[in-house]
Amino acid sequence: MLQAIHKKLDELYPEMVDIRRYLHQYPELSFQETKTAQYIADFYEQLAIPYQKNVGGNGVIATLKGGKPGKTIALRADFDALPIQDEKNVPYKSKVDGVMHACGHDGHTASLLTLAKTMKTFRDSMPGTIVFVHQHAEEYAPGGAKPIVESGALDHVDAVFGTHLWATTPFGVLQTTKDVFMAGTDRFEITIQGQGGHGAYPHETKDAIVLGSKLVSDLQQIVSRRLDPLETAVVTIGVFEAGTTFNVIADKARIIGSVRHLNTAVQEKVIAEMEKIIQAVCAGNDAAYTFDYVRGYPPLVNHEEEAELVLKAGSKVEEVHTTEEVRPVMAGEDFAYYTIEKPGAYFFTGAQKEGNYYPHHHPKFDIDERAIPVAAKTLITAYFEYQT
């Protein structure tokens, strides 16, 4: 039956592309995806597949029960976009100013929707139950996965699988790990309150820019000098705001950044070291500070048996010529909440577009749309493998 399912997905390839390109033109930011959620719900309405709306927020979950007994398995796709201006010169360029599907979630949605349409055709001979999880707000913590899990909508599920169309991995390559796959991602904000003054009299001030600059430099030593070299972490400063004009010494600086880690012990070490450094820099210069640290998504940890099953499934997809285990990546994913609660695995489906080598979250990001059916084929093959 798998061969027939794969063939049907190939037949639906033009529809996959149409769905993806429509969604690409009308992206919505995290927690604001009401029209996209309605589009997904309408699709299932037309298929006469039962669904729930507003799950954990804007989530949509559809359920297809097969004609034969078997396990209940969730397949997940996210559907939010990013606050990025689309700079591609293509007919399906985003029509929403400052908002763009710069991570492939439109392709994830197209893949899962057409997979549902395909499996409706094969329902009578299908074992078990597929739970199609369309998740909102992956891009911005606290994300959509956690409230979906907390809603209890997946309590009855035996396992969960998901994939990301990965634009920096060549088409035909499938990648995963049998342990930690993606990093935990946190964010922080530091404010330094010094004492401003005239640029001609620096000795009468507590220069927030100088203090902030030292702080930025010292924070980089956490990874290079305060962690075991065999441990992995990233401390990134993304925002440094201070000052108003050329001849005024700033009294306040604002620093915003992210921390990435592969385990909680390293996370706690980084937080403690950050606190020490901030306190030392500010106390030594009679400056006040605030330090707000927000723990974001935990590391995404695959289950070994389910990851092995994904690799096996990939080897049965005609377009996949390479299945491989890779090192963890330091990007984050709230799919982590699913594998904390249920057996499961996440994997990358190679989607690098010829001539377009821009990474995720880039204004010119795009994917090889041939990867959309490959993602669907791998997910449904993993579903059948799990039934045996």
Residues annotated in a binding site for Mn(2+): 103, 105, 139, 164, 361
DSSP state string for 159-197: EEEEEEEETTS-TTEEEE-SSEEE-EEEEEEEEEE-B-E
Three-class secondary structure of residue 100 per DSSP:
strand
> Is 138 one of the catalytic residues?
yes
Q: What's the rounded Cα separation, in Å, for the pair 345 and 174? A: 13
Q: What six digits make up the tokens of 97? A: 């100013």
Cα–Cα distance measured from residue 147 to residue 158, given in angstroms and rounded to the nearest whole number: 19
Residue 369 annotated as catalytic? no
| Residue 54 CB partners (closer than 8 Å, separation 6+) | 37
Beta-bridge mates of residue 164:
348
Contact 143, 105 (CB under 8 A): no
| Nearest residue to 387 (alpha-carbon basis) of 43, 119, 60 | 119
Q: For residue 194, with 0-12 CB atoms within 10 Å meaning exposed, 13-18 middle and 19 or more buried, which class applies?
A: buried
- Cα separation of 20 and 37, whole Å? 14
**Strand, coil or helix: 309:** helix
Alpha-carbon distance 59 to 4, whole Å? 30
Q: What residues are designated binding site?
A: 103, 105, 139, 164, 361
Of 78, 86, 138, 251, catalytic? 138
Q: Which amino acids are annotated catalytic? A: 80, 138
